[in-house]
Amino acid sequence: MEPVYRGLGRCVCCFWLAVAFDIVGLLVLLIGVFVNVFFYDLLIYAGAIVIFLSLIWWVFWYSGNIEVPPAELEDDVGLLKKDKGALSGIGGAVRRLSSRVSSGIRTSLRRNGAPSGTGTRAQRSAGGPPAVEQQVTVAMATMTPHEDTPHSAVSSVANCDVEMPHTTTETSPT
């Protein structure tokens, strides 16, 4: 047997937090309006923000106290009605169609060899072999700040010698 809630309902803590935020926000706002201080605008805005934040607690309290009979929850949370069977009527047809479409998509992705969540659309739709990544080796030369002789670096990529021109950078004296 479920406990019977009276008065404030199940979420009493959220209710009292909402009331406290409303009271504090209203007090801060009224102090900003009626007390002669140089930061009155800060108090007015802060009070309005605290009152706005109390809405969060009011929504928690309200949504925590919504009562839905289990008979109405059956369709929403996936529970099937005992008297109608597993797949009946329009709802059953929609469930069958949905499961067929999703399983078809899942199996076609597995057939094409694309792991779940990776690859591009072009690779997935082409149906060919997956792209192969190649490594490129790049040689870099170190230079001293006052080096005036140009050097060229040679890099070996796929059995080809590639000559790279020397580049210099200028720095300002500090």
27 phi, psi to nearest 5 deg: -65, -45
pLDDT of residue 122: 47
Residue 166 lies inside a defined structural domain of this protein: no
Task: Give a yes or no: residue 168 inside a domain.
Answer: no
Q: Do the domain assignments include residue 51?
A: yes
Q: Does 126 reside within a domain?
A: no
Q: Which domain holds residue 58?
A: 12-68
Q: Cβ contacts of residue 87 below 8 Å, gap of 6+?
A: 93, 95, 96
**Residue 172 falls within a domain, yes or no?**
no
Q: Are 125 and 109 in contact (CB under 8 A)?
A: no
Query: Between 52 and 126, whose confidence is greater?
Result: 52
Report whether 36 contacts 43 (CB < 8 A). Answer: no
Most confident range (mean pLDDT) of 56-65, 82-91, 120-129 is 56-65
Q: Is the pLDDT of residue 132 over 70?
A: no
Mean pLDDT of 122-130: 53
Residue 151, token pair as written in the block: 């050097």
Higher pLDDT, 35 or 133: 35
In a domain, 18, yes or no: yes
The residue with greater pLDDT, 111 or 38, is 38
Q: Is 40 a domain residue?
A: yes
Domain count along the chain: 1
pTM for the whole structure: 0.43
Rg (CA), the chain: 35
Q: Please report whether residue 19 resides in a domain.
A: yes
Residue 24 predicted with pLDDT over 90: yes
